[in-house]
Every structure is written in structure tokens, then in C-alpha cells.
Amino acid sequence: MPDQSVSLDDEDLAAQSAVKHLRNLKIDNDTVRRLLGEARTHNVWHQRDVSDDTLRSIVDLMQMGPTSANGSPARIIFLKSDLAKERLRPALTPGNVEKTMSAPVTAILGYDIEFWRNADSTFPHKPEVQTNYRDMPEASETVAFRNSSLQGAYLIVAARAHNLDCGPMSGFDNTLVDREFFEGTTIRSNLLCNLGYGDADRLLKRSPRLDFDTVCEIL
């Protein structure tokens, strides 16, 4: 039953109508395979440019994914130029250097530990849900890290939806990345993700996944 204490405007009603319509649509198998089922992590890249407009569109879609109270803590630096990539090189583990330097784009996905400063924009109907973290810095950082990790996953799905391939990585020195790219800010690095058009001819078989009973319990 709808909450009678909430006053709905035209945009609220339009959103409800849109979601009801979407529930009647079926996602085709090819789309599921492209986004997750048969999509792969790529390490070798075709040298095809990824336009700035494509990156903007990916981020617009990524930000539609849910975060706690719409905190949206992810902050991204996209490295495209050779000069920018060289700034990242010292922070990479040896096995991640070549794949990163050859990728058309490398995204540094960070999180703002003071994400709540945008509460008036991201949660205008009740900004105090976010601004309460002002006096809880440890909790604020935990929430920012957790939700930026979610947004990292949304980034991958959004990029694949734009027909790009992804190579997410955690093999890097966070301290060096933070010093080089986020010095003097409230942003901390979370993960890296190479983006571009992967060379499918260089893929190997998929590594095994764990079965349902190993990772899940139904109570």
C-alpha cells in the first residue's frame, strides 16, 4: 500500500508508470550474454579510440544504479593519453603494466569520503540522511567504499552495454595512486578498469566459478 504521508508529483507518477511498463518487457538472451553470461575480462586491446561522448554516456548510465540514500560516492578519472598513463605506471603491479598501457582508456574509480557534501543535490528531500555522516568519518568512509564498489560494477555493465570490453583490476598501489591523482582531495582510489575493444582472438577459456551451494544458503 502506498505511503499516504508522501505527496506525489507528476515526476513521481511518471517514474511509477515507467517501471510498471518495464516489468512487462523481456530481456533477450543475447543481451544477458553480452552483459554478464559470456562477457569476459580482456587484457589485450585493439587500438580503437573510445570517444569522450561514449565515456559520458557510460557514466550517465552507471549513475542510474542504486547507492545508499543515493550517496553516489564514486569519482572517476579516465586516462587516455600516454602522458596520463605514464603517471599511473609506477603504481601498477608488473603483471598489469602492459595491459594497462595498451588499453585505450583506463578508469581510476575512487570514492569521496565526504560524499555527503552533495546531499542537497543527490537527496534533496531529506539531505540529513547523508549529512549525518559529517560527524562519523569512519562510517562515512565505509559507506563510500562500499557504494563506490557497487558503482564500479555498474560501470562494467554500462560499458558492456555500450559495446565496450572491460579489464577491471585491483593490482596496484593505492597509496601511490592517491598521491599522484587525488592529493589534497577527499577522494581515495578503489579500483582500476581498462576499457576498450578487446581482442577476442587472445582470450583463453573462462576460469571456473563456484557452485550455488558453495556460495549461497537459503534460510
157 and 35 Cβ atoms separated by less than 8 Å:
yes
**Whole-angstrom distance, CA of residue 104 vs CA of residue 51:** 10
Extract the C-alpha cell encoding 14: 511518471
pLDDT exceeds cutoff 90 at 4: no
- Write the pLDDT tens digit of every residue in 38-55: 999 999 999 999 999 999
Query: Which stretch of DSSP H or E encloses residue 20?
Result: helix 10-22
C-alpha 171 chain-centroid distance: 17
Query: Which stretch of DSSP H or E encloses residue 126?
Result: none
Mean pLDDT value across residues 56-83: 98
pLDDT in the model for residue 161: 97
- Write the pLDDT tens digit of every residue in 133-162: 999 999 999 999 999 999 999 999 999 999
Q: What percent of the chain has pLDDT over 70?
A: 97
pTM across the whole model: 0.93
pLDDT exceeds cutoff 60 at 2: no
pLDDT exceeds cutoff 70 at 1: no
**Whole-angstrom distance, CA of residue 5 vs CA of residue 46:** 55
**Whole-angstrom distance, CA of residue 116 vs CA of residue 193:** 25
pLDDT in the model for residue 208: 96
Q: For the chain, what is the largest distance between any 2 Cα atoms, rounded to a whole number of angstroms?
A: 58
Q: In sequence order, what are the residues at sequence separation of 6 or more whose Cβ sits closer than 8 angstroms to the Cβ of residue 48?
A: 104, 196, 197
* Domains contained in the chain, CATH given: 41-200 (3.40.109.10)
pLDDT exceeds cutoff 60 at 125: yes
pLDDT in the model for residue 3: 57
**Whole-angstrom distance, CA of residue 156 vs CA of residue 163:** 11
Helix residue ranges per DSSP H, 23-173: 29-32, 52-62, 82-88, 97-101, 119-122, 128-131, 137-161
- Write the pLDDT tens digit of every residue in 75-118: 999 999 999 999 999 999 999 999 999 999 999 999 999 999 99
pLDDT in the model for residue 5: 62
pLDDT in the model for residue 38: 95
Three-state DSSP state, 40 = coil
> What's the pLDDT band for 61 if we cut at 50, 70, 90?
very high
80 and 47 Cβ atoms separated by less than 8 Å:
no
pLDDT in the model for residue 190: 98
**Whole-angstrom distance, CA of residue 206 vs CA of residue 85:** 28
> What's the pLDDT band for 23 if we cut at 50, 70, 90?
confident
pLDDT in the model for residue 44: 97
